[in-house]
Amino acid sequence: MNNSDVAAAFDELGDLLEFQGANPFRVRAYRNAARTLKDLGEPLAKIATDPARKLTDIAGIGDDLAEKIGVLLSTGSLPQLEELRAQTPASVLALMRIPGLGPKKAAVLFNELKIQSLDQLRAACEAHRVQELKGFGKKTEETILAGLPLASQAEVRMYWAEADEVAQEILRQLRMCKSVEQLEIAGSYRRGRETVGDLDVLAVSSQPGEVMDAFAALEGREATLARGDTRMAIRVARGLQVDLRVVPAESFGAALQYFTGSKAHNVILRSMAKDRGLKINEYGVYRGEKRIAGETEEEVYATLDLPWFPPELREARQEFQWAAEGKLPKLIELADIRGDLHMHTTDTDGRATLDEMVAAARRRGLKYIAITDHSKRVTMARGLDGARLHQQWDEIERRNAKLDGFRVLKGVEVDILEKGGLDLADDVLVRADWVVASVHYGQNQPREQITKRIVEALENPYVSAIAHPTGRLINRRKAYEVDLEAVFQAAREHGKLLELNANPARLDLDDVACAAAKRHGIPIVISTDAHSTEQLGVMRYGIIQARRGGLTKADVANTRSWPEMKKLIGRKGA
């Protein structure tokens, strides 16, 4: 099991315990442990097998949790979790994925109405039986109905970041097979979609049976679903299906293209081939019965006078138009990023100190960061009032006096209040180098009201950017209603930026909105929203999302030095 698998097991333990009404402290312990393990910068298995180290060295992991981690790593399961699963119908877990429902209300639905599935819940809502329950009401019933599609999707798709852990482990193990000559993972994973439903593995080998034997012996395989001469399907942790195809070398490029491109992208490609009297499929490019290309993706595209498309662009949006005009963009890369402008410390809800965040950022090669702890409105995160914020900024100024070749920006994540306006006064914000404004409360307000709040924030002279502009949590919470066109217009008019939050649960803005911002000429800032030193590594997920939106180095503000950034946002001083 990898770190995400162990974290998922602890998250599920927490949900099932809360569903059963267990002690809240036990529930919180498992959830805190899950969050810690998701952020851990090295494999748990490596720590567990190192004689000089202990799992209890990990912050927040005591003897009991360490023992459970050890059991999961060695056996792939946990008796306590299996026992709780046996006591709770598996279909009930789907109820907990509905935004705003949670284990406690799921338990009420199960105990009072005997609801065990999403279909049963939909029927109960449509019959208005749910609103009659104590603590629910008509509005809750409407919210449940609106969240059902999201819960259905969450059952079958995982975050790209989680799928990447599985994919890299599969590649590592299969590369140990001497019969493997080439190996890639295609599909939506290679295109960098924010969620992944399955994995498509392509291999070249003259001994396909040996490769499939290695595939069948993968550590972490839970079941074999099908096996043929050159194809095989297995299921791994958390129900993820992995399909293997072994192809000849002369067809590898054609197969990689075919199984990577979206359906719409491939339809256009086949139509273009047909117009030229050619045929394209997963085996190659054919003129009549003769194969004229297929060994590499580049030669497949070249038969149609097309450039090689970065996988992230293969969605049949603008890539073919760009190619026809000779304007295919050179997409942004992780190495282009020079600063990270959204992160938290132990002064609010972060898990690392200012100095620890600075040291970690410098190790990653960054040249500047902004410390953007929460403002006072976010009471659950011990948000900062003006006095505490000034104390933090005094500390930052003292650090900057000693730092060489690195800059810490005095920042804050200021809340956009439900009634409009900001959580901190202008006479506080004037001292900041960087201010990100965000909506944390009142996310169910009407579209016009939320849009007005964000536009007003963009009009504030001290606001630099809007953080996670639509408030979504992938598979967990829909974006709030907001007129993004009005937000784009206000950002452009006032010279402000919009954030692409790189947290894999957010990736907000999404790829389509990033492309729209580019059309409006609005620079995007890709930030990690890190709450620990390990979370600084999520920047790569934001880069993938930006590439899907067609963004280049020039489209992303924090590829610039800080002096260049200051000019971009029109700030003075600092």
Checking if the pLDDT of 152 tops 70, the result is: no
Looking at the structure, tell me whether residues 226 and 259 fall in a common domain. Answer: yes
Q: Of 1-10, 67-76, 366-375, where does mean pLDDT reach its minimum?
A: 1-10
Q: State the chain's mean pLDDT as an integer.
A: 92
Query: 3-state secondary structure string, 46-106?
Result: HHHCCCCCCHHHCCCCCHHHHHHHHHHHHHCCCHHHHHHHHHCCCCHHHHCCCCCCHHHHH
Q: What is the pLDDT of residues 492-514, one digit of tens each?
A: 999 999 999 999 999 999 999 99
For 404-423, what is each residue's pLDDT tens digit? 999 999 999 999 999 999 99
Question: Are 322 and 306 in contact, with CB atoms under 8 Å apart?
Answer: no
- Over residues 282-297, the mean pLDDT reads 96
Measured CA to CA in angstroms, residue 97 lies from 25, 94, 159, 280, 315 at distances of 22, 5, 14, 41, 28
Residue 574 belongs to some domain of the structure? no
What percentage of the chain reaches a pLDDT higher than 90?
70
Same domain for 402 and 467: yes
* Lowest mean pLDDT across 175-189, 235-249, 497-511, 523-537: 235-249
- pLDDT one-digit tens code per residue, 97-147: 787 777 888 888 888 898 888 888 889 999 999 988 888 888 888 888 888
The CATH code of the domain that includes 458 is: 3.20.20.140
Phi and psi at 489, nearest 5°, equal: -60, -45
How far apart (Å, rounded) are the C-alpha atoms in residues 78 and 466?
42
Do 451 and 304 lie in one domain? The reply is: no
347 vs 373: CA distance, rounded Å = 7
Give the residue-averaged pLDDT of 427-431. 97
- Whole domain around residue 435: which residue ranges? 334-569
Band the pLDDT of 291: cuts 50, 70, 90: very high
What is the reported pLDDT for 242?
95
Q: How many residues does the chain have?
A: 574
Residue 572 reports pLDDT greater than 70: no
The pLDDT of residue 171: 97
Residue 309 DSSP one-character state: P
Residue 454 is predicted with a pLDDT of 98
Domain annotation covers residue 538: yes
Distance of CA 234 to the CA centre of its chain: 25
For residue 43, the model assigns a pLDDT of 81
pLDDT digits (tens, 9 = 90+) for 15-27: 888 888 888 888 8
Integer Cα distance of 63 and 429 in angstroms: 45
CATH no. for residue 85? 1.10.150.110
Count: domains in the chain: 3
Mark whether 497 and 546 lie in a shared domain.
Answer: yes
Say if strands 368-371 and 339-340 run parallel, antiparallel, or are unpaired: parallel
| Per-residue confidence (pLDDT) for residue 220, from 0 to 100 | 86
Listed residue (311, 321, 331) closest to 518, CA to CA: 331
Same-domain status, 276 and 403: no
**Boundary (domain end) residue, out of 111, 138, 156:** 156
Q: Answer with the one of 263, 290, 325 that is the final residue of a domain.
A: 325
Please identify, among 156, 182, 203, the residue that sits at the C-terminal boundary of a domain.
156
Q: Could you tell me where the beta strands, DSSP code E, fall in 477-534?
A: 497-501, 524-527
CATH code, 247: 3.30.460.10
The whole-model pTM stands at 0.81
Percent of the chain with pLDDT over 70: 97
